[in-house]
Amino acid sequence: MSYSVNWITKVVSVPTSDLTLVSGNHYRLDLNVFRIELRRLESDFTEGLWAVQTLEHSNTRFDFAGVDYAPFDKIINGYTVEFSGSVERVDLIGSNNNIVDVLNYTGVSVVPSNSAGLQVVTSGSGVTAQDKTDIANLSRDTILGTESFP
């Protein structure tokens, strides 16, 4: 990987060569690979061992407003991200993230796959057994005409 971090200006640079080509100038960035590479750079004695952390990773599902979300990667401590080279579009895959919020605009269209596309659903629709009974009773009463309305 040839990612680089300017530890003084706090800019994380991702070169085109480290992105996955989709077609033309359309690329994809796997955020798991991104996270691992940033951790490697942070722990390297000649790189960022002395610098503050670049990324906060939540590996567990978390509940927000009643919805379980997939892992979250957050660029922290004032770091920003830029994509270099002749890239027109980069799709971010693999986790919810805040990269769009900390992006250095270089003409690249960055498309995150946050929230709805990365919710964790165990099973079912959330309708309870009592909800089903109430719906069935109301439907029966409405069809048979025994429902009274105020």
Position 35 pLDDT exceeds 60? yes
pLDDT tens-place string over residues 53-100 = 999 998 766 666 666 667 789 999 999 999 987 888 999 998 889 999
**What is the pLDDT at residue 36?**
94
Among 18, 39, 43, CA closest to 30: 18
Split at pLDDT 50, 70, 90, the class of 130 is: confident
Alpha carbon distance 110, 47 (integer Å): 27
Cβ atoms of 68 and 126 within 8 Å: the answer is no
CB contact at 8 A, 5 and 11: yes
Q: What is the mean pLDDT of residues 135-150?
A: 72
User: What are the residues whose beta carbons fall under 8 Å from the beta carbon of 98, sequence distance 6 or more?
Assistant: 73, 74, 75
Residue in the block written with tokens 């530890």: 7
